[in-house]
Amino acid sequence: MYFCYADDSGADQGRTLTGLLVPEEGWNDLLHCWLEGRRGLEETWGISKNTELHASNLVKGRGRPCATAEQNQRFGRPARLAAHDLMMRHLARCASLRVLTVAGRTAQIAEVYQGFVDHLELWALERDTRMMIMYDGQVGPEDTSGMAQEDAQKLWEQAVRNASPYRAAHRRLPLTTRRILEDPIMQDSRYSQFIQAADMVGYAAFHHLGLTHPEVWPKMNPVGAMSKSYRRLSQHWLPGHGTDGIVWLDADSAQKRRNPRHAGGPREQDPLSAL
C-alpha cells in the first residue's frame, strides 16, 4: 500500500502535478527526514516547524517566515534558495520515497490530474500494490462557530463541488481492477507537512521543466538553483517513467492510458461515478 501526496504547479498553458509516493512501511521514515529538515530551518533561519512552507512564496521572497525581524532581514534570496535546497536534501534521505511529475500543455489542472491518476493506476498494477491519494485542496470552513448554519453549509458544498473533477478521475477507473482506492482525500496544505513537501518538489520540477522546455513557458524566468535542487531527488524518480521523473501528456499516451492492456474490453465504471 502506498500513500501519494500531490500538489500542482505551472502557469499559463502548461500545468504540472507532482506526487510523493511512500509505502506504508516507509511513512515514518519520510516524516522523520522531513522534520529533521524543518529542525534545520528553525536552527539556521528561525523558521518554526509550524510555519507553512509554500515554495513560490519562499523563492520569490514573499512573506516573513522567520521568528524575528532581524532573522527576516537576513533571510534574503540566497538564504531562501538554500532553505529550499536543505529540504530537498532531507527528502532525498528517505530511501523508499518515489517522485513523479506529470506535465501537460494545458491550462486545466483537472486534465493533468486525470493523466496523473491513469499513470499511477498502471504503475500500481505493475507493482501489485494499492494507493491512496492526498491532494492539496480546501475541505470546508475551518471554524463555523461564528457563522449561520446556512452560510457554513454553502461553504462546505462549494468545497465538495470544487473537488468534483478530481473525484471523477478516480471513479472512472474500472471497479474490478482499480488500484487507486477511494476518492482523493483533500488536505489543506497549512496542516499537512507532506502536502507542503509535494509543493516544494513540484515547484522545483516546474523550474527544471522551464529550463528544458522554454517554449511552453516563454514568460518564465526559471531558476537554475531550483533545477539543481530537483535533481537531488534523481535516485527517487519513478523508474522507467518519463525523463527526469517527468511524464508529458499527449494525445497518444492519453489514448493508451484510457485503453490499458489489462482492461480486456469495455471498462467497467464505478457505480458511484454518477454521484
| Domain range list for the chain | 2-255
The per-residue pLDDT for range 9-18, each reduced to its tens digit, is: 998 889 999 9
Contacts (Cβ under 8 Å, ≥6 apart) of 99: 18, 19, 20, 21, 201, 233, 236, 237, 238, 245
Tell me the whole-structure pTM to 2 decimals.
0.85
Determine the pLDDT at residue 264. 35
pLDDT in tens, 69-104: 999 999 999 999 999 999 999 999 999 999 999 999
Query: Which among 229, 5, 182 is positioned nearest to 100, based on CA atoms?
Result: 5
- Taking the C-alpha atoms of residue 150 and residue 247, their distance in angstroms, rounded to an integer, is 43
pLDDT greater than 60 at residue 231:
yes
18-22, 107-111, 199-203, 226-230: the lowest-pLDDT one: 107-111
Q: How far apart are CA 167 and CA 245, in angstroms?
A: 25
Task: Please say if the pLDDT value at position 159 is more than 60.
Answer: no
